[in-house]
């Protein structure tokens, strides 16, 4: 089993993140979503030493699971347990191979451990296979609040504003950093965005990162009808990124009702709002970003 640096694989020049699912709420496959993709939240981070961290297990995790051909350790960091972030877990091929070691990290609860909460979905009648019956060596962890290390990567987990206990993650290899806040409504905690940094959800996770992958689900008009649902206007994503000094923003958690053309138009608006202060990039399934 390889742990950290993959056997025979030279160190990569940079950490990188690949998007395997960028859609929010529900998978949305169809001719109108081909460019941005229809799979729900999943991103894969690979450190320079070969450490792999998979962020969320939406339907996109099925495809990334099929890319691991050698036994190894894999770490899945779940931001929260809404269906669009865990629905792919039962179709993650390494879970069913006995020579893989899989660690799943999720938001802590004061009442139930992560296994109990995940088993609500991964058990009959919702799913035919029970979590206890998977072949891989599976360990489930309540993610520690604050800093911890996975292989060659340092992870910081903090709660962010979203219904239910929800985490955002900051991942660093010591040289560069990315922040992943796929479901986040910072505007709910402020009368106006941007508020002061110490009173802005997600600020510390995103501060100074090279790449911020952030919820950008709504237009301003849509948000007015959905306050409290846990998601951002795309303008709030831009404002948070600017306040935090992020270098690049990747739009994420696209509304299932938005087709590719609408997402292009939202991206144009976001770039205009950023006004050159940061790079705003489209979060499209299959895209890879060096960090």
Partner 1 sequence: MGWHNQHVAQRDIGLILMRQLASGMAVPMLLADDNGDLLFFNEAAEVLLGRRFDEVGDLPLDERREMFAFRDEGGVALPPDQPPLVVALRERRPVHRRVWLRGFDGRDREIEVTAFPLLGGGGHLIGGVAMFWARKQAA
Chain residues binding partner 1 by CB under 8 A are 107-108, 110, 145, 158-161, 165, 188-191, 194, 196-204, 207-208, 239, 242-245, 277
The β-bridge partners of 46 are 16, 52
Give residues with Cβ within 8 angstroms of 249, minimum separation 6: 211, 212, 214, 237, 238, 241, 270, 274, 278, 279, 280, 281
Give residues with Cβ within 8 angstroms of 49, minimum separation 6: 4, 5, 11, 151, 152, 173
- Strand, helix or coil for residue 206: helix
CB of 161 to partner 1, least distance (A): 6
The smaller minimum CB distance to partner 1, of residues 118 and 161, is found at: 161
Is the peptide bond prior to 194 cis by the omega test (within 30 degrees of 0)?
yes
What DSSP element (H or E) covers 150? strand 146-150
CB of 281 to partner 1, least distance (A): 19
CB of 198 to partner 1, least distance (A): 4
CB of 192 to partner 1, least distance (A): 11
The smaller minimum CB distance to partner 1, of residues 22 and 200, is found at: 200
The smaller minimum CB distance to partner 1, of residues 21 and 107, is found at: 107
The candidate with the shortest Cα–Cα distance to 202, out of 219, 190, 191, is 190
The smaller minimum CB distance to partner 1, of residues 101 and 269, is found at: 269
CB of 203 to partner 1, least distance (A): 5
Residue 236 and residue 242: Cα distance in Å, rounded? Answer: 10
Give residues with Cβ within 8 angstroms of 192, minimum separation 6: none
The candidate with the shortest Cα–Cα distance to 108, out of 63, 159, 153, 70, is 159
The smaller minimum CB distance to partner 1, of residues 35 and 271, is found at: 271
Both structure tokens of 280: 């705003």
The smaller minimum CB distance to partner 1, of residues 152 and 197, is found at: 197
CB of 121 to partner 1, least distance (A): 21
């Amino acid at each position: 089993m390889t742990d950290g640096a993959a056997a025979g694989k030279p160190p990569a020049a940079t950490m990188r993140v690949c998007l395997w699912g960028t859609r929010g709420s529900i998978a949305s496959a169809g001719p109108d979503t081909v460019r941005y993709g229809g799979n729900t939240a999943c991103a894969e981070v690979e450190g320079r030493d070969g450490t792999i961290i998979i962020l969320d297990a939406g339907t996109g995790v099925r495809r990334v699971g099929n890319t691991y051909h050698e036994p190894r350790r894999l770490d899945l960091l779940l931001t929260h347990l809404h269906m669009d972030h865990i629905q792919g877990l039962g179709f993650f091929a390494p879970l069913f191979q006995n020579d893989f070691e899989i660690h799943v990290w999720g938001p802590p609860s004061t009442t139930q451990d992560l296994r109990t909460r995940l088993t609500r979905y991964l058990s009959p009648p919702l799913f035919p296979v029970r979590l206890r019956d998977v072949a891989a060596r599976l360990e489930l962890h309540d993610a520690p609040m604050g800093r911890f290390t996975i292989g060659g990567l340092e992870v910081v987990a903090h709660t962010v504003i979203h219904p239910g206990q929800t985490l955002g993650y900051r991942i660093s290899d010591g040289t560069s950093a990315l922040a992943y806040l796929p479901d986040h409504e910072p505007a709910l905690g402020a009368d106006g965005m941007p508020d002061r940094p110490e009173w802005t959800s997600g600020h510390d996770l995103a501060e100074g990162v090279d790449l911020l992958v952030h919820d950008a689900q709504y237009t301003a008009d849509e948000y007015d009808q959905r306050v409290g649902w846990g998601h951002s206007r795309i303008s709030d994503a831009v404002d948070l990124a600017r306040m935090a000094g992020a270098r690049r923003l990747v739009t994420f958690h696209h509304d299932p009702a938005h087709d590719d053309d609408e997402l292009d138009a939202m991206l144009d608006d976001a770039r205009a709002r950023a006004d050159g202060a940061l790079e705003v990039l489209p979060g499209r399934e299959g895209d890879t970003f060096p960090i």
